[in-house]
Structures are given as structure tokens and as C-alpha cells.
Structure 1
Amino acid sequence: MTRVDVLGVHVSVTNLDETVETFARWIDGGERQLVCVSDMNSLLHASADDQLTKVFNTSGLTVPDGMPLVWAGRKAGFERMGRVAGPDLLERVMAEAADRGWTQYFYGGAEGVAEELRDTFRERHPALKVVGVHCPPYRPLTEAEDAAVVAELNSAKPDIIWVGLGAPKQERWMAEHRDRLDAAILIGVGAAFDFHTGRLDRAPLWMQRAGLEWSYRLYKEPKRLWRRYVLGIPRFLVGVLRNPPKPVS
């Protein structure tokens, strides 16, 4: 798939519809892919870390979660590029999965969140097949614990493993485990678990479309997020002015 270079990170030129159809091809074809859902914050993390840059740039998809990345892609000439927000993608794939029989596993979140997410989506989509949930501790796992998690995930046989560990922890975890897990798709969706279980509120739709969702989140969680946005936005803007987005050759 075509990609655009944004601060050294190769973002996929895609939109929500194309991403879902790509998932369908991967599942039908028995592929094993990793998906990074990249907003401005995770892109800045990746651009400052060679190992993370490699994860994002060699993924099956690095989708643009955030209007700044969409605008960057369009600036490079890709008008069809559209936002693929983690919460929107999660909801859309659950609906498709209920129709197509894809199986899901939710990994991550605070205690009880994955179970609540499973119940929420089963209520919305009664035919949905969720084959497992797991909430790991915040501390690093021992080798034995990690091996047990891998065995549990593989025995459940999910088509898609949704990872909610937050960026960049989830991207590192997926990269470390991709070769050991049989699921067709590993995808990190950050706070999407909390949005769909009501622990976080999403900005009004007009703010999402205008690229102002960050301001709503900052208003809701100023102590946790001020550094991300007050420092991150100028850093991103200066970066793209100095190094304009361009197609990846």
C-alpha cells in the first residue's frame, strides 16, 4: 500500500473503508500482520526512536488516527486519505466481524475493562464472537507469564487481537510478539477501550472533523495530557514545516 513520509514515519494512504477491506483480505488469506494506529503523539514517539520507527514503517498498516496526519497526507497529494480513528475502527470492525464471523480477543486495559468491552460489543452485535479477554498487570511479565499469555492467545484462535496498552507500549509489545502469535491481525488501539466502555468521553463530531479533538481531551484531562499537546503540537508543526510530507518511494 502507498505510504507518505511524515517526520520519517511512513503513514499508510488509506481510509476507514479501505482499512476494513484490507483486514478482510488478510483474514481470508491467512496472513499475519501488525497494525499501528498512529495519531500525532504516537508518531512523535516513533520519529524519535529508531526501533519504533522500524515498527511503524514495516507494519502491515500504519493508519492515520488524527486529522494532522490526514492533512499531511493530502498535502503530499493523496486526497483519498481519511481519518482512521481507533474507536471508529474498533466499532466498524465489530459490526463487520458479526456479519463475517471474524473472532476477536481483547488484550489490555485496566482491571475489568476488557470484560466490559466484550459485554458492550456483544450487546450491540449479538452475533459477535469474542474468544477471550486478558488484562495484564502494569509491571513487566516474567518469561513464564509471557509464555502463558502467548499460549492462551493462540489457543483461543482469534482472527484479530486488539491491544489496549497505550502508545508506545502497545507497539513495542506487538512487535515483540508478532512472530509468536497466530492471529491474522495484531492492532494497538490505545484509549479506544476506555471510550467504548464510557470511561472517557469523545469530543463532539464537529471537533473531531476540525482536528480539535486534542483540545477537548486536554480540557478533560489537563494534568495528564498538557505536556503531550502543549509541547507536542509545536514540535509536530515545526517538523512538518522543515520536512514537508512526501510520498514514500
Structure 2
Amino acid sequence: MRNANVFNAINYAITDYESASDTIIQQAEQRNSYGVFALPVHGLVEAVQNPAMREATRKAQMIVPDGQPIRWAMNFFHRVGLKDRVYGPTLTLHVLKKANAKELGIFLYGGNTEETLDKFANFIRNTYPNVTICGQYREEKADGNTLSADTINNSGAHIVLVGRGCPRQEIWVANQLDKVNAVMMAVGAAFSFHAGTVKQAPAWMQAAGLEWLFRLLMEPQRLWKRYLLTNGYFIYLFLKEIITPNRREKTVNQ
């Protein structure tokens, strides 16, 4: 899969929903230990500023451009011609649809609350009846790491959906590579969105790159600092890349 490096920080896959989900299902059927991240602006800034997150992104086999600003940066600096982002919650639905056709097993790890985890599991059972939920697990403490690789491997799961928030979920996935014999997808808000416990932004706001504004309006006290700092830093990185183009890495073929 071809990649494009954004801000000399992350190699993003030049892909779309169909190609990305096909690759995930192929890896899952072979029970390969395979890490997938869906990183928007927040995830990229975390990778720039947080050494543990940066190391995690270097280990992941596929990082998809979750946010419109990431897609814009890839198209602007690398001319890759991406027509859409690859949004984690939507990618999750593509994967579940194909897993349903293949009758694969899914393990759910995360969720903001037990209610969210249960509702997400019920959504999968009702919408994708041929998917087997091999197990579900949620940490008592947000920073806990009590789920063992053996528990997942013994469950028979082909895919692990991880919704623990960035950067915890990405760091966990990276640490489990070569231990968990399944595809591990760090998909964060997909749990809450598909459980119906958090509203998604309208389609027009998503297309315009304004999903952050919708989420900020929904949860201003929790998210104002994140978006103020991360969006501002992303703009700084974008402008810096324009001013110093010699820093830019060429598109990578893999």
C-alpha cells in the first residue's frame, strides 16, 4: 500500500474505504497481527508531541487519513488525489459489513461506559447478524492495561475494535503487535457513535472539515482546550511545511 508522509511525522495510507477494508479483512482471515489507526488532526499532533504515540505510529501497518485536513495536506503536498477521507467510524462499518459476509469474529475493547459498550455490541448483533462477538472488555480505570493477549487469542476473534481514546488505544495496539493474532483497529469514537450515545456531525460539516466544531459545541468543557491547541498547532505545521519544503518526504511505496 502506498503512503504519503505528512509533516515528516506520519506515513498515511493513500487509500479509500473499499481498499482499506479489503486489506483489513484479508489480514483478519489470515489471523495476522496487524495494527490499524484512524488519525485526524488530534492524532497527528499527538504523534508530533508525544514520543510514545510517535513510536506507536511507526509500528502500525496502516494509518488512514481520518480527518479532512489530513486529506487536504496529503493532496496539497503530495498530489495524491484523495477524493475523501477515511473516517474511522465509517471504516468500521465497511469492515463489519465485510466481516458479516465472511462470518468473522469480533472482540470489543473499550467504550466510555459499560452502557456504550453494551449498546455498541447490540448494534453489531442487530445489524450484522453473521458477525460473532467473541468477547467484550472495558477497563475499570482509563489508563488500565489489564486485557491480556491470551484472552483475545483464546476468544477466536479475527478483529479487535479498540475504543479507548487517543493516544491510549494506539499505544495499546502497538504494544500488542506480534502478541495478538488478529487485526487491531483503533477507532475511538466509533463505539459511542454507533452505540447512539454521542451524536455525529451532519454530513455537510464533516465534508467541510468542521466536525471538530460540532463536537466542540456538544462537549465544550471537555474539548475546547484540545481543539484550540491541536488545530492551532496543525495550522502552524502546515505553514511551516510550505515555508520549508525541503523537509518534505516524498510519497513512500510499500
TM over 0.5: yes
1:234 aligns with 2:232: yes
Tell me by how many angstroms 1:29 deviates: 3.8
Amino acid at match of 1:151: D
Q: Deviations over 1:187-213 (max 9, x none)?
A: 111111011111110011011111111
Amino acid at match of 1:193: F
1:112 aligns with 2:110: no
Contact kept? 2:143, 2:168, Cα under 8 Å:
no
**Aligned residue for 1:175?**
174
Tell me by how many angstroms 1:165 deviates: 0.5
Contact kept? 1:14, 1:63, Cα under 8 Å:
yes
Counterpart among 191, 194, 199 of residue 193 in structure 1: 191
- C-alpha separation in 2, matches of 1:139 and 1:80: 35
TM-score of the aligned structures, taking structure 1 as reference length? 0.91
- C-alpha separation in 1, matches of 2:152 and 2:31: 17
Q: What percentage of aligned pairs have identical amino acids?
A: 29
Amino acid at match of 1:88: T
Within a 5 Å distance, the mapping from 1:1-249 to structure 2 comes to: 1-7=1-7, 8-75=9-76, 76-80=78-82, 82-109=84-111, 110-138=113-141, 140-141=143-144, 145-146=146-147, 149-183=148-182, 185-244=183-242, 246-249=249-252
Q: Deviations over 1:23-45 (max 9, x none)?
A: 12213444221111101001100
Tell me by how many angstroms 1:152 deviates: 1.8
**Aligned residue for 2:245?**
none
- C-alpha separation in 1, matches of 2:184 and 2:123: 21
Amino acid at match of 2:158: D
Runs of 4+ displaced beyond 4 Å: 139-142
Q: Deviations over 1:152-210 (max 9, x none)?
A: 21110111000110000111111122222121x11111111011111110011011111
Q: Secondary structure at the match of 1:22?
A: helix
TM-score of the aligned structures, taking structure 2 as reference length? 0.90
- C-alpha separation in 2, matches of 1:228 and 1:193: 20
- 1:141 and 1:50, CA in 2 relative to 1: closer, same or farther beyond 3 A? closer
- Please, which moves more after superposition, 168-177 or 109-118? 109-118
CA RMSD of aligned residues (A): 1.8
Amino acid at match of 1:222: P
- C-alpha separation in 2, matches of 1:112 and 1:178: 29
Unaligned 5+ residue runs, structure 2?
243-247
Tell me by how many angstroms 1:126 deviates: 1.8
- C-alpha separation in 1, matches of 2:180 and 2:30: 16
Tell me by how many angstroms 1:81 deviates: 5.7
- Please, which moves more after superposition, 27-36 or 218-227? 27-36
- C-alpha separation in 2, matches of 1:246 and 1:68: 18
- C-alpha separation in 1, matches of 2:69 and 2:61: 21
